[in-house]
A and B are shown apart, each in its own frame.
Chain A
Amino acid sequence: MDKTFDVWKKVPVREQKPLVRAHNFDEVCLGYNDEEAALEASRCLSCRIPMCVEGCPVSINIPGFIAKIKEGYIEGAAEVIAQSSALPAVCGRVCPQESQCEGKCVRGKRGEAVSIGKLERYVADWTREKGIQAGKAGEPNGHKVAIVGSGPSGLTCAGDLAKLGYDVTIFEAFHQPGGVLVYGIPEFRLPKDTVVKHEIENVRKLGVKIETNVIIGRSITIDELMEQGFEAVYIGSGAGLPRFMGIPGETANGVFSANEYLTRNNLMKAYLREADTPIRPGNKVIVVGGGNVAMDAARTALRLGAEVHIVYRRGEEELPARKEEVHHAKEEGVIFNLLENPIEILADEKDWVKGVVIRKMALGEPDESGRRRPVEVEGSDYVMDCDTVIMALGTSPNPLISSTTEGLEINRRGCIVAKEETGETSRFAVFAGGDAVTGAATVILAMGAGKKAAAGIDDFLRNR
């Protein structure tokens, strides 16, 4: 290892070989071992003003935990991380580090940034394997807080409040806690039984109760929770209803939302023969969209045995997915049809998908998102045969809670309005954050919002 060590480059991380992993659901990235982690940690310059921390939505003391790795005191590194994050094994795996901590790393100016994500993951995996619990519950203060949703935002908020001594109950609509960590992100990127379950167990060990199969807004409303003695409520209910394109033929059999396809496979474990929930893997699958969800759906379909095309209306530069996911997808054999957009879905006489009419696109002037706007190329239409189309186009907010909570303000897009710094909503004692407020975003941003809201709730309950 030492012979090939180049201080300007990241210590390479071991991965399953592309052609092997394209046929299994085991984790792609194998993570650093002790030597690799120590070597990578040695690349950190311990900047006095660490830019990386600024890039982290939950402000982990990054040089601090890396310094502990340098000392070989991994437990100490875990304690540093636990001060800021309840889900390090998750974040180390799914955060878009290139646009956050690593994007700001000084090393990145001349070479490659320190592999902060992989180091975080190493610390989290090490403590899990050694059975060490980082972080502990605070002295009980007798105040009850309810959390809606057990995804990254709710878990983070719950964990922080429990550390402050609050009596916290999370209500989860699904039969399993974890939110997008269990229904959305696939096993090959985030193992459920080892990583996710363990992180949720850690939150439970802080004294947080999780009630599954309770739908806030249906089984019980926010107002009724208040009547039952909860003094504050945090809404971290996540994204919402999957979007479709509204093009002809979209109701044909074989057109799925990425949410459906991924939920069948991840939460319901349809890839296992012994699972009761069916999935139609498809022979030739077109995934529409360019975000992380599109990559997850594409790589899932690939593993189920299909030929997979990602059809995205902008170019490679504009793909919103994490770079590593795009890279992995390509290595595994997902075909990218960039600057193309479906305009119609064709069905056979029994109304099953048989192809998609695709129009080519070109990039025009930048739009409000700063990305160059795709414009249609007239006369460029062609038909791509396929038997399955998966729409990964984002979501629109779920009205379940807003429509059953009087006085809870929503914006014109239907998202809950909440103050960014505290999570406060228009309703007294009701806080919100994560995708329910921002629309579909990332795990770490949802965690950041949960963290701020925990502080906001603590402040509110102290100063009532």
Chain B
Amino acid sequence: MYRITKVEHLSEKNWLMNVEAPYITRSCLPGQFLIVRTGELGERIPLTICDYDREKGIVTIVFQVVGESTAKMSQLKEGDCFTDVVGPLGQPSEFVKEDIEVLKQRNYLFVCGGVGIAPVYPQVKWLAEHGVKADVIMAARSKDLIFYEQQMRSVAANVYITTDDGSYGMKGVGTDMVRKLVAEGHHYDVCVAIGPIIMMKFTSLTTKELGIPTIVSMNPIMIDGTGMCGACRVVVDGQVKFACVDGPEFDGHKVDYDLAMKRAALYRKEEAEKFERYKASLQ
């Protein structure tokens, strides 16, 4: 059973949960994701893995309530079970296969937007465990949307925070901080940007200009997560790729973000209708 061992309401729409999923924790690596399902007629929801405890078999997930399925998930309490949890899915981040000595020569910059903090954390943690330094920019609309800050500080070389409204850290967006750090003389060999598509798009435009190779993590609509449905098509360097088997991480300078944004809206009408119906049913 996929028992929930901890529930934390991070902010208005964001939730963190610890879930028993030993088949995932036994093998998962940074960059991979999982799929959860709630209820016998539930939808399969892909989520990034925020943290994992291999010994206890517990995986940490973070999600934002955006529709019916995530709203149902947010109703679950400690001790409840997900109907299904499956993974790990997708390719691990490229650095896990690289020579540690080579990695140690590199300066990594992570830029995470909103719930993108979740998938960035295990990457920075993995690098720290292997003696590789990484700076992290945590960007959000406002202070209450920043989470996992202490954990991130414990594994990152430096953590920089920006908020759109200036309620915490520097007022501005992630790319403002990227420019500031580079202007101050910081040198970065690789940037990893994870967050909303629009944020990854603009971060990639900025790093391209600054000449920093960039990796992004795509989270398109998908069903099975193993390559079978083909819903998760993304175009990278003019080629159609399946995010679930070829990704989810791709060269940020080559992803067609405008297409990804259009595809993300594919079921918006149907999803909105279902969400409205669900909310009405709660009243």
Contact = CB atoms under 8 A, between A and B. Distances in A.
Interface of A: 173-175, 183, 212-215, 218-220, 239-242, 244, 250-251, 253, 256-257, 259-260, 263-264, 267-269, 272, 274-280, 350-351, 398-400
Contact of A212 (B39, B84, B223, B242): B84
Identify the 3 closest CB pairs spanning chains A and B, nearest first. A278-B270, A257-B230, A276-B43
B148 interface: no
A219 B88 contact: yes
B131 interface: no
A220 B43 contact: no
Contacts of A268: 43-44, 223
B231 A215 contact: no
Contacts of A275: 41, 43
A387 B88 CA distance: 35
Nearest to B38: A276
A250 B259 CA distance: 12
Given A242-B229, A272-B41, A350-B262, 4 more contacts: A213-B84, A220-B26, A268-B44, A398-B228
Contact of B224 (A173, A251, A399): A173
B58 to A, nearest CB: 15
Contacts of A220: 23, 26-27
B198 interface: no
B113 interface: no
Given A251-B259, A278-B270, A351-B262, A175 B226 contact: no
B89 interface: yes
10 contacts: A213-B84, A219-B86, A220-B23, A253-B263, A259-B229, A263-B228, A268-B44, A269-B41, A274-B41, A275-B41
A217 B129 CA distance: 25
B37 A257 contact: no
A350 B269 CA distance: 14
A263 B226 contact: no
A275 B69 CA distance: 10
A219 B39 contact: no
A183 B87 CA distance: 19
Contact of A240 (B37, B83, B227): B227
A276 B226 contact: no
Interface in B100-121: none
A208 to B, nearest CB: 19
A253 B266 contact: yes
A403 to B, nearest CB: 9
B27 A263 contact: no
Contact of B41 (A173, A276, A400): A276
Centre residue among B26, B32, B223, B274 by max chain A CB count within 10 A = B223
A241 B228 contact: yes
Q: Which of B37, B224, B230, B271 has the most CB of A within 10 A?
A: B230
A263 B271 CA distance: 17
B230 A241 contact: yes
B235 interface: yes
B68 A280 contact: no
A251 B235 contact: yes
B193 to A, nearest CB: 22
A264 to B, nearest CB: 7
A173 B89 CA distance: 11
Contacts of A276: 39, 41-43, 68-69, 72, 274
B259 A263 contact: no
Contacts of B265: 253
A401 to B, nearest CB: 10
Contact of B84 (A175, A251, A263): A175
A345 to B, nearest CB: 13
Nearest to A391: B230
A174 B267 CA distance: 22
Nearest to A279: B270
A239 B41 CA distance: 25
Given A219-B26, A253-B263, A263-B224, A278 B230 contact: no
A251 B240 CA distance: 8
A242 B41 contact: no
Contacts of A278: 267, 270-271, 274
Contacts of A272: 41
B89 A264 contact: no
